[in-house]
Structure 1
């Protein structure tokens, strides 16, 4: 399965729309030396203090993969080198009370440092067996 093919990505969106989900988020699972990059939500934000993988909203007219690249760069300053796999999705209630589907992709980045945060207050590289305080959905996604 080619997870970067337009047909595969369009199918993800079509399946979500068929399920009545209109909010889409693209997320990057960035793995380096067996550790995964996590970023912490600012204390005043929705779900403040929670650790998450870099992710963000798919804008109108943007593909899920385009959003993955853009959001990873915006939130971490890192540039995706390669999308290596699709890790599945999970749905959650967003701050407006609607349902959002988060599409999760395994990626490699051109360089792992420096991590430049614009929307979070901290970052860490953690082993899958030593996760920070993440949501149950992220824990299930990452857990070995």
Structure 2
């Protein structure tokens, strides 16, 4: 579990580094598979698969944003945040310097997955090279390391 002070420190460091937008991402695992969501073709970075993720709203803590985003994007309820898996920086579709903080989460149940913003989802085996960006591949490598895989 990650504590509140650590999360505050992560957000403060991002601001010091000039991040204009904070984003959270979740590695949702079930039965040795991870949940990936596919962006609509006409969206920023259309067609790629990604982790459930989204923007942190003003006044929101990273853990609250993570729980909200997983629920909004998948319909799944987060039971707990088990691990911090690092961050990566990128430029958003609107040109903002963004920092995505990534966490391993446990969900109450892995079904049903209900999509709101994505066109498809898939449960991908951890042993398979997933169809994601290099940044997300790095997050998944960290997840495997934390899991001893």
Q: Structure 1-normalised TM-score?
A: 0.94
CA shift, 1:41, in A, is 0.3
Aligned counterparts, 1:1-144, within 5 A: 2-3=1-2, 5-143=3-141, 144=144
Contact 2:49–2:132 (Cα < 8 Å) also in 1: yes
> How far does residue 132 in structure 1 lie from its aligned partner after superposition?
3.6
For 2:147, the equivalent position in structure 1 comes to: none
SS at match of 2:86: strand
Kindly report the root-mean-square deviation, in angstroms, between the aligned alpha carbons of the 2 structures. Answer: 1.1
Unaligned 5+ segments in structure 1 are none
Cα distance in structure 2, aligned partners of 1:76 and 1:122: 11
Runs of 4+ in 1 over 6 A off after TM superposition: none
**8 Å contact 2:130–2:137 — kept in the other structure?**
no
Counterpart Cα distance in 2 of 1:36 and 1:68:
16
Question: Quick one: distance in 2 between partners of 1:118 and 1:34?
Answer: 24
Q: Provide the rounded CA distance (Å) in 2 between the counterparts of 1:54 and 1:35.
A: 14
Structure 2 alignment gaps of length 5 or more: 145-149
Aligned residues: 142
Residues 25-61 of structure 1: CA distance to partner in whole angstroms, max 9, x if unpaired?
Answer: 0111001111100000011110010000000000001
Q: Secondary structure at the match of 2:119?
A: strand
Q: Whole-Å Cα distance in 1 between the matches of residues 139 and 25 of structure 2?
A: 11
TM-score (norm 2): 0.91
1:131/1:121 Cα in 2 relative to 1: closer, same or farther (>3 Å)? farther
SS in 1 for 2:69: helix
